[in-house]
Amino acid sequence: VSHYLHQIESKAHLNAFVEVYQQEALQKAATVDEKIREGTAGKLAGLIVGLKDVLSHTGHGVQAGSKILHAYKAPFTATAVQRLLDEDAIVIGRQNCDEFAMGSSNENSSFGPVLNAQDITKVPGGSSGGSAVAVQAGLCHASLGSDTGGSVRQPAAFCGVVGTKPSYGRVSRWGLIAYASSFDCIGPITKSVEDAALILEVMAGADEFDSTVSSRNVPAYSGLLGSERKVRIGYIAESIENESIAPEIRQRTKEVLERLMEEGHVVEAVQMHTLAHLLPTYYILTTAEASSNLSRFDGVRYGHRSNEAVDLESLYKKSRTEGFGDEVRRRILLGTFVLSANYYDAYYTKAQRVRSLVRAETEKFFENYDFFISPVTPTTAFTIGEKTEDPLQMYLADIFTVHANVVGCPAISIPNGTDRDGMPIGIQIMAPYFGESDMLSFARQLQ
């Protein structure tokens, strides 16, 4: 703990942590030391973790990177966090992120941008940017992030670390501040696949506080990493051919596919027609869900309340106007629009139907293949400020990651070399619903 506290202090300019629990972490470390001596320590004893600022932890601030939750303290602990604590993990602090997990660059945080430790002029990715940089820069062993459309995998790719999004319903969302409830997943950001497997097996499984969590048995993922079986892999030809994807990323992805082929795996280019509709489907449904989820921030129950209000309506309006940043407002407006009476069928209902089609086509794909492989991002980490004026460009870059959330499948991003400037490149493995064991095992083989 002392080592990491020192690292956090010496790399404070990266802006990865918004709060550090110095005394508490040191005290917990002493308790865990005692347990280790007694032989009663849990299986995560000694693991130092950071929490994305969307995870509730009793008595600690949590504000989703937003002014609207200024000074709010969590009255309970997220199930995923509690399970880590129960196994003697030590929480060292909470980490910067895009406001309400909306973004791909961590530039939408009320705490200011996070800097990529590889090159501080570049973004770390988002929305779990602080969580990825904390692992990249050695400020903690592992972080918990949330992934609604790539927010664990994409920053992991930009920072050269491992980002794991479990199946929807594998890990309880209880205590996670909601962005889009039918997409949100809590996932670990780690240096290795082994650590991801260990953390996932501790966090996953049924929870009486979240009825969408599956009661399926949780395999001991970390003990199942050894297999070296031959697998069937599908990929989309465009992902290694399309010129809008950075040449070095295409090249690196191609090299992995070729290597796998040489090793005797089946590797085939496939066509999936519904993928062309992924981004509009994702952005229509998530903004709809966000507009509904964020209606609870009304200036009455949580955090920021405007001092300028003169009546109930101005209290709502002014508190929300002062509390929410531009991107969150943009998404609330979009979501409110697609849910409005005149447009509901044209946008929301249609997007739900497309979601079913994507799911069906993906399920069909997995009847013939074990894994779907793609790049994680079309470019490596870009320069801070480069895309802030053009939200559409930012949304388009989520093309590879949103698929897993639209269909609910697990997916993992692992490092796949760097570009000529030394910026990390990631590769993504997506597996069938609840196929975490095989996915982690294969990722371990690739890493």
Whose CA is closest to 384, among 41, 68, 105, 98?
A: 105
Whose CA is closest to 202, among 414, 33, 42?
A: 42
Q: What does the binding site for ligand GLN look like in residue numbers (CB under 6 A)?
A: 101-104, 127, 147-151, 179, 286, 398
End-to-end CA distance of the chain: 28
Tell me the closest approach of the beta carbon of residue 127 to ligand GLN, in angstroms: 4
Tell me the closest approach of the beta carbon of residue 250 to ligand GLN, in angstroms: 21
Three-state secondary structure call for residue 94: strand
Q: Which is nearer to ligand GLN, 195 or 398 (CB)?
A: 398
| Catalytic residue (choose from 28, 52, 122, 165) | 52
| Catalytic residue (choose from 127, 128, 374, 413) | 127
Tell me the closest approach of the beta carbon of residue 18 to ligand GLN, in angstroms: 17
Active site residue 52: yes
Cβ proximity of 364 and 275 under 8 Å: no
Q: How far is CA 95 from CA 62, 99, 130, 341, in A?
A: 10, 12, 5, 39
Q: Which is nearer to ligand GLN, 1 or 245 (CB)?
A: 245
Q: Which is nearer to ligand GLN, 25 or 411 (CB)?
A: 411
Q: Which is nearer to ligand GLN, 413 or 437 (CB)?
A: 413
Amino acid at the residue 294: L
Tell me the closest approach of the beta carbon of residue 213 to ligand GLN, in angstroms: 19
| Catalytic residue (choose from 151, 222, 374, 441) | 151
Whose CA is closest to 426, among 377, 371, 382, 384?
A: 377
Q: How far is CA 352 from CA 283, 285, 289, in A?
A: 12, 7, 12
Amino acid at the residue 343: Y
Angle (CA) 325 331 333, round 5°: 100
Label residues 105-114 b or e (16+ Cβ within 10 Å = b).
bbbbbbbebb
Tell me the closest approach of the beta carbon of residue 195 to ligand GLN, in angstroms: 21
Query: Quick check: bond before 10 cis, omega within 30?
Result: no
Active site residue 215: no
Tell me the closest approach of the beta carbon of residue 373 to ligand GLN, in angstroms: 20
Tell me the closest approach of the beta carbon of residue 418 to ligand GLN, in angstroms: 22
Active site residue 151: yes
Q: Which is nearer to ligand GLN, 354 or 394 (CB)?
A: 394
Which residues pair with residue 95 across a beta bridge?
A: 17, 52
Q: Which ranges of 296-410 does DSSP label H, i.e. alpha helix?
A: 312-323, 326-339, 350-368, 391-396, 402-407
Alpha-carbon distance of 89 to 82, in angstroms, equals 10
Tokens matching residue 112: 């200011």
In which residue are the tokens 């895309």 written? 387
DSSP string, 144-203: EEEESSSTTHHHHHHHTSEEEE--TTTB--TTBPPSSTTT-EEEEEESSHHHHHHHHHHH
Tell me the closest approach of the beta carbon of residue 147 to ligand GLN, in angstroms: 5
Residue-level length of the chain: 447
Cβ proximity of 421 and 249 under 8 Å: no
Catalytically annotated residues = 52, 127, 151
